[in-house]
């Protein structure tokens, strides 16, 4: 309860200082994450791609097995047709008239045609199997290459994690401590700004000469004066970031450094008057 009272009763200058301290810690954490770069996303993307290749390989293998079963079935049917031909040829010795002879010869011819059809079907199926075998070989080689690439990226990411783990844990503790010095409304706005500006993660910025250090738009002289006086929390009217003077941020003062009280456009509906002493 005592801490909450101190936070709520803090002066504008104390609030700005606490916000800037939090921003510095968060920026350091961002830098640690940048060391990892896109490796986490790349590792996940490769993992997903390998899973898709595995599914494709299993489908191809299943298709090949199905085609091989078709070949086996066709071979069995050829065997049956040949057996029938032998039987019909054996019956030729007992033919009594021309009608029986023609009937047997027709049956033999039909079975021979059936064998030709089955042999063509087998050739076509074997061609399909050969094509699928080639596709399977390409997929297997692609998988091997992707696994090799994944292993390399995982190893690289592991080294970075080991290297930065200690620093990141320390920074996370600093971050938790810094957040406790800021009231919930301010934290909410700060977090939403950080989320909105994901690219640089800057929610609290100082003046770079006479411009906002976040969006680099010029700040009117009167607003620069207000920022330097530290009597109320002011945001950039162009980007919505919280402004503070360089003297407070870096312990230095630059001529003409003052900032602007602006409106919140496309940002959380919080008015700067809520933050005045």
| Whole-angstrom distance, CA of residue 138 vs CA of residue 195 | 43
Hey, what CATH topology would domain 39-172 get? Helix Hairpins (1.10.287)
At 157 the pLDDT is 87
Q: What is the mean pLDDT of the chain?
A: 85
State mean pLDDT over 83-102: 86
Give the Cβ contact number of residue 219 at 10 Å: 27
Q: Which residue has the tokens 């919080």?
A: 270
Given a cut of 50, is residue 44 above it in pLDDT? yes
Tell me the whole-structure pTM to 2 decimals. Answer: 0.55
Given a cut of 80, is residue 274 above it in pLDDT? no
Instruction: Provide the H-helix boundaries in the chain.
Output: 2-8, 12-36, 39-91, 98-180, 184-196, 221-229, 246-250
Dihedral of alpha carbons 17, 22, 28, 31, sign: negative
Given a cut of 70, is residue 260 above it in pLDDT? no
Q: In this structure, are residues 102 and 153 in contact, taking their beta carbons and an 8 Å threshold?
A: no
Given a cut of 60, is residue 4 above it in pLDDT? no
Given a cut of 90, is residue 22 above it in pLDDT? yes
At 131 the pLDDT is 96
Given a cut of 70, is residue 273 above it in pLDDT? no
pLDDT tens-place string over residues 188-227: 999 999 999 988 999 999 988 889 999 999 999 999 999 9
Domain residue ranges of the chain, discontinuous segments joined by +: 2-34+183-275, 39-172
Given a cut of 70, is residue 276 above it in pLDDT? no
42 against 94, higher pLDDT: 42
N-terminal to C-terminal alpha carbon distance within the chain: 20
**What is residue 252's three-state secondary structure?**
coil
At 277 the pLDDT is 41
**DSSP string of 147-196?**
HHHHHHHHHHHHHHHHHHHHHHHHHHHHHHHHHHTS-HHHHHHHHHHHHH
At 8 the pLDDT is 62
State mean pLDDT over 112-139: 96
Given a cut of 60, is residue 268 above it in pLDDT? no
At 29, the pLDDT band (50, 70, 90 cuts) reads: confident
At 252 the pLDDT is 59
pLDDT tens-place string over residues 244-256: 988 887 775 544 4
At 100 the pLDDT is 86
State mean pLDDT over 17-29: 91
């Amino acid at each position: 309860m005592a801490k909450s009272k101190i936070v709520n009763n803090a002066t504008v200058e104390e609030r700005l200082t606490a916000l800037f301290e939090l921003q510095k810690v968060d920026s350091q954490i961002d830098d640690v994450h940048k060391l990892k770069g896109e490796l986490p996303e790349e590792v996940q993307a490769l993992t997903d791609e390998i899973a898709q290749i595995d599914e494709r390989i299993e489908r191809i293998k299943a298709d090949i097995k199905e085609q091989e079963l078709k070949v086996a079935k066709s071979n069995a049917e050829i065997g049956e047709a040949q057996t029938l031909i032998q039987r019909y040829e054996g019956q030729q010795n007992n033919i009594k008239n021309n009608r029986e002879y023609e009937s047997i010869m027709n049956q033999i011819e039909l079975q021979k045609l059936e064998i030709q059809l089955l042999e063509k079907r087998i050739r076509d199926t074997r061609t399909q199997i050969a094509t699928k075998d080639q596709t399977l070989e390409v997929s297997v080689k692609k998988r091997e290459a992707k696994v090799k690439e994944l292993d390399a990226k995982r190893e690289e990411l592991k080294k970075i994690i080991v290297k930065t783990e200690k620093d990141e844990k320390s920074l996370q503790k600093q971050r938790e401590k810094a957040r406790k010095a800021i009231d919930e409304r301010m934290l909410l706005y700060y977090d939403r700004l950080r989320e909105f500006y994901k690219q640089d993660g800057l929610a609290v910025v100082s003046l770079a000469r006479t411009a906002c250090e976040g969006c680099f738009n010029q700040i009117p002289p009167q607003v620069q004066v207000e920022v330097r006086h530290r009597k109320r929390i002011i945001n950039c009217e162009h980007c919505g970031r919280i402004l503070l003077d360089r003297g407070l941020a870096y312990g230095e003062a630059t001529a003409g450094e003052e900032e602007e009280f602006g409106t919140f456009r496309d940002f959380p509906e919080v008015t700067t008057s809520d933050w005045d002493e």
